[in-house]
Amino acid sequence: DDLLLHCMQCTKRRRKRIEGHFPGASEKTLTKMKLFGADADHEAMTGKEVLKRLELGYHVGLRQSSIRPDLRKILRELHEEGFHHYDHMFYTTDGATPNFYKEGMTNKLIEIAIEEGVPLIDAYNMASFNIAKYYHMEDILGVVAPGRYATLNILNSPDEPNPETVLAKGRLIKSGGTNMNAFSAPDWQKGGLVPLNLSYDLTMDDLQFSMPLGLKMRNSVIMEPYTIEIDNSVNQLSFDHDESYLSLFDKYGKWRVNTMLKGFATRVQGFVSSYSTTGDIIMVGKNKEDMLLAFKRMKEIGGGIVLAENGKILHEIPLHLSGGASNETYEKVLEREKALKELLFERGYTFDDPIYTLLFLQSTHLPYIRVTPKGIFDVMKKTVLFPSIMR
């Protein structure tokens, strides 16, 4: 893609970094992407994959996420290979969901590294100086020295990475383990982040399913094509199988995509989310009336994730920041997310993380098939198999 290559070249001329996303990439592909200008990749799942990227000149993000908790395994495998050089590596949680962070974020990654025998200075550098240097920002970040931001984590001991006192740009935000509430809440409205205001309603006519091809879940995020064989002209699907209705609606109400999703759950009746890759509306369920009810409630609360069953709302997570994020406290979000997962697991969701499923349904950087604003999209062939329908 000439436009994409031009953007990459402009990025390199400005001494900015280009991040790679290369799951399962061969040495040939990694070499090509390095020649195009990619600087780092966080998709290594084994010690050998880390070493291959380092040999080709990449920096490597060592991942510890809710669906890929690989950090401990990778470090062990690197050490088994006799590799103990960490200056081209740093950590990433790869955008995990809220409950994954309930015991902290970077502090947990440093703790794992120390437990796996990484020297203390390297364990901390992978969370600070290595990153600052990689982004050409070590003049202001990553070390304690004149001219740098006074952003400090103060510990009881070097081998206990959970900070007791925290300064952010010189302002005390945590002292002796107590949060200081040093910052006022952001003015979300000033930034254009307001509750979702949908201008349309849905009816049964919007939930007509005739497409012969559906999406089959291999795991939380990987989707494969499958041929639809059940009768999906009814309002209620059976609980004897794991196929559900799946719809994607334009947030402006202009188009829709109706297909089937296999493997999501056996007993989820109506599940609607404004949280998605594109900000459009995802609907999943076995009962069309409950799907419409969940949509109506999601619209009433200004965006969010809603679960409905037998004509009642079972659970909701309001997302008042443009339908994609919550403005509630972190503790409240943890509570709501935990309850949602428990309800979905009880109704037959068998994979790791339903929030990841919502996010990645439309993500065309992962195989094999996706539901997108253009329609059902084949990622590998880069073609639209079935186009979206105008409403």
Does residue 132 lie within any of the structural domains? yes
| Model-wide pTM > 0.85 | yes
Residue 123 to residue 135: CA distance in whole angstroms: 18
Same domain, 226 and 330: yes
Same domain, 78 and 226: no
**Domain-terminating residue out of 120, 144, 168:** 144
Does residue 297 lie within any of the structural domains? yes
Same domain, 300 and 341: yes
Does residue 319 lie within any of the structural domains? yes
Splitting the chain (391 residues) into consecutive groups of 10 residues, what average pLDDT does each group show? 93 95 94 96 97 98 93 98 97 92 94 98 97 96 93 94 93 89 83 95 95 94 95 96 98 97 98 96 98 98 98 98 95 96 97 92 91 95 95 93
Same domain, 242 and 139: no
Contact 344, 338 (CB under 8 A): no
Q: What pLDDT does residue 141 have? A: 94
Q: Give me the phi and psi of 320, to 5 degrees please.
A: -80, -5
Q: What pLDDT does residue 181 have? A: 77
Same domain, 226 and 344: yes
Same domain, 160 and 136: no
Same domain, 155 and 212: no
CATH code at 116?
3.20.20.140
Does residue 192 lie within any of the structural domains? no
Q: What pLDDT does residue 318 have? A: 98
Does residue 107 lie within any of the structural domains? yes
Q: What pLDDT does residue 154 have? A: 94
Query: Range of 172's domain?
Result: 149-182
The pair of three-digit structure tokens given for residue 170, joined into one six-digit string: 């010189």
Does residue 188 lie within any of the structural domains? no
Same domain, 246 and 355: yes
Same domain, 225 and 140: no
Contact 12, 37 (CB under 8 A): yes
For 255-264, b/e burial (b = at least 16 CB within 10 A) is bbbbbbbbbb
Beta bridge partners of 377: 370, 384
- Max CA distance (Å), the chain: 70
Same domain, 27 and 137: yes
Same domain, 175 and 237: no
Same domain, 165 and 232: no
Q: What pLDDT does residue 125 have? A: 98
Does residue 251 lie within any of the structural domains? yes
| Helices 71-80 and 47-55: angle between axes, nearest 10 degrees | 70
Residue 45 to residue 27: CA distance in whole angstroms: 15
Number of domains in the chain: 3
